[in-house]
């Protein structure tokens, strides 16, 4: 637990990977709260895009903006797991990153409406400046990990030049295809920095701490989905009276989110990461899809709720898909992420495959069943997946030989 008294300066050295009772600090929790603003901004913008019937056009901007949010959060999370000193300098540089998050969030509307990424890019660069400073400090004060820390600082710093150049490309009138290609290249290079930087020496991240941090961010995204749906309910109530349809849609949305929460936390990741540290990159990177799916699900739920009060520019089937597709992506990707650090079984593969297929087929029945009934079936499918997964986990715990049904 962090000390109650703020320490002026603590030499930055790698923390032990087997530190007992390692939990998220109060500063990390505050850091996460700033991302609530950024995620809310991108979710609200994507919901508006879907409601206008422009989901396909808004998907790539949504994924690009969310990548910046997720990647900045992820980089600091893994750094803090290795080098959290919680002294004055560490706190100030963390605050700099928090300021960058808020600046990024402020630039989301301009980026989505006008393709103006200036404010967003400045926010992202501010976040990276704080992290670069932390890595430089780690390199200076921890000789054993100096090469790794300096590689991180150099790699992250060099890529910020690339993001600046992308701004100039946009100002010069470059086509959307060129800008997208530049983004993809820069994103791939960003993802490659940890792989390159840790070749001399791996950082001392704590498996249970990392698992908790990812779990907390999952809860934040689920909370954002609840907020998005409640915003839709509020606007619907302002325009019309509370109806049974509105209550049913809101209730189904809550059941879906609760079921997905249950699925995510059914298998603790900490012990599995401890046993398979070498698979941490794929596990951590795989969460981009999981987190983006939850953010998109919040946007979809907001759209479905709003549709109960007035006509939108999309059909009921399209609105149903705005919920079903993110839910299906979450179920499928969750199975994939769990597979990275654990032995998959035929039961898990079969239930995940069936769940994804059913979720993607259900919206086709919306014209016959109606939006409310279709959403209820989506919720029922998610609940059924929870039931199967819970039963399978109980069987494994009571019968160790059940692992013989693994696919490995």
Are residues 193 and 152 in contact, defined by beta-carbon separation less than 8 angstroms? yes
Average pLDDT, the chain: 88
Lowest mean pLDDT among 194-208, 306-320, 380-394: 306-320
Residue 334: CB partners within 8 Å, gap ≥ 6?
263, 264, 290, 352
Question: Could you confirm whether domain 207-405 is CATH 1.10.3110?
Answer: no
pTM for the structure as a whole: 0.91
Q: Which two tokens stand for residue 95?
A: 């605050």
Q: What's the pLDDT score for residue 221? A: 94
Query: In this structure, what are the phi and psi dihedrals at residue 352, rounded to the nearest 5 degrees?
Result: -65, -45
**pLDDT higher than 60, residue 236:** yes
Q: Which two tokens stand for residue 109?
A: 């509307």
**Digit-coded pLDDT (tens) for 192-218:** 999 999 999 999 999 999 999 999 999
Q: What's the pLDDT score for residue 196? A: 96
Residue 189, judged by CB atoms within 10 A of its CB (0-12, 13-18, 19+), counts as middle
**pLDDT higher than 70, residue 4:** no
**pLDDT higher than 80, residue 153:** yes
Q: How confident is the model at residue 404 (pLDDT cuts 50, 70, 90)?
A: very low
Phi-psi region of 9 (alpha: psi -120 to 50; beta: other; left: phi over 0): beta
Domain spans of the chain? 26-197, 207-405
Q: How confident is the model at residue 159 (pLDDT cuts 50, 70, 90)?
A: very high
Q: How confident is the model at residue 114 (pLDDT cuts 50, 70, 90)?
A: confident
Closest by alpha carbon to 268, among 312, 208, 325?
Answer: 208
Q: Which two tokens stand for residue 315?
A: 């059909």
Give the mean pLDDT of 387-392: 90
Query: CB 291: neighbour CB atoms within 10 A?
Result: 23
Give the mean pLDDT of 163-189: 88
Q: What's the pLDDT score for residue 241? A: 66
Q: What's the pLDDT score for residue 307? A: 80
**pLDDT higher than 70, residue 1:** no
**pLDDT higher than 90, residue 395:** no
């Amino acid at each position: 637990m962090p000390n109650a008294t703020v320490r002026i300066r603590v030499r930055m050295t790698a923390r032990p990977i087997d530190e007992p009772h390692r939990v998220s600090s109060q500063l990390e929790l505050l850091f996460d709260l700033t991302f609530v603003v950024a995620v809310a901004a991108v979710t609200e913008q994507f919901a508006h895009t879907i409601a206008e019937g422009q989901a396909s056009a808004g998907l790539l901007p949504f994924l690009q903006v969310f990548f910046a949010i997720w990647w900045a959060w992820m980089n600091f999370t893994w750094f803090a797991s290795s080098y959290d000193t919680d002294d004055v300098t560490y706190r100030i540089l963390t605050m700099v990153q928090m300021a960058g998050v808020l600046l990024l969030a402020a630039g989301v509307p301009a980026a989505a409406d006008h393709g103006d990424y200036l404010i967003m890019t400045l926010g992202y660069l501010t976040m990276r400046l704080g992290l670069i400073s932390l890595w430089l400090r780690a390199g200076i004060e921890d000789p054993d990990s100096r090469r790794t820390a300096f590689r991180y600082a150099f790699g992250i710093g060099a890529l910020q030049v690339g993001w600046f150049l992308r701004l100039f490309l946009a100002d010069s009138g470059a086509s959307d295809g060129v800008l997208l290609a530049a983004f993809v290249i820069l994103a791939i290079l960003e993802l490659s920095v940890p792989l390159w930087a840790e070749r001399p020496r791996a950082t001392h991240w704590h498996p249970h701490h990392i698992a908790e941090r990812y779990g907390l961010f999952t809860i934040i995204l689920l909370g954002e989905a609840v907020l998005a749906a409640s915003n839709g309910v509020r606007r619907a109530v302002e325009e019309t009276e509370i109806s049974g349809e509105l209550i049913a849609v809101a209730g189904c949305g809550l059941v879906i989110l609760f079921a997905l929460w249950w699925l995510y936390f059914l298998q603790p990741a900490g012990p599995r990461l401890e046993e398979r540290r070498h698979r941490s990159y794929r596990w951590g990177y795989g969460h981009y899809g999981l987190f983006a799916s939850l953010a998109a699900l919040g946007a979809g739920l907001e759209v479905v709720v709003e549709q109960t009060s007035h006509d939108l520019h999309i059909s009921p089937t399209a609105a149903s898909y705005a919920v079903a597709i993110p839910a299906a992506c979450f179920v499928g990707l969750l199975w994939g992420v769990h597979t990275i650090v654990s032995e998959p079984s035929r039961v898990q593969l079969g239930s995940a495959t069936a769940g994804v297929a059913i979720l993607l087929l259900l919206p086709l029945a919306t014209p016959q069943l109606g939006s409310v009934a279709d959403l209820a079936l989506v919720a029922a499918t998610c609940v059924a997946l929870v039931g199967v997964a819970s039963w399978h986990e109980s069987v494994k715990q009571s019968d160790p030989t059940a692992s013989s049904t693994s696919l490995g």
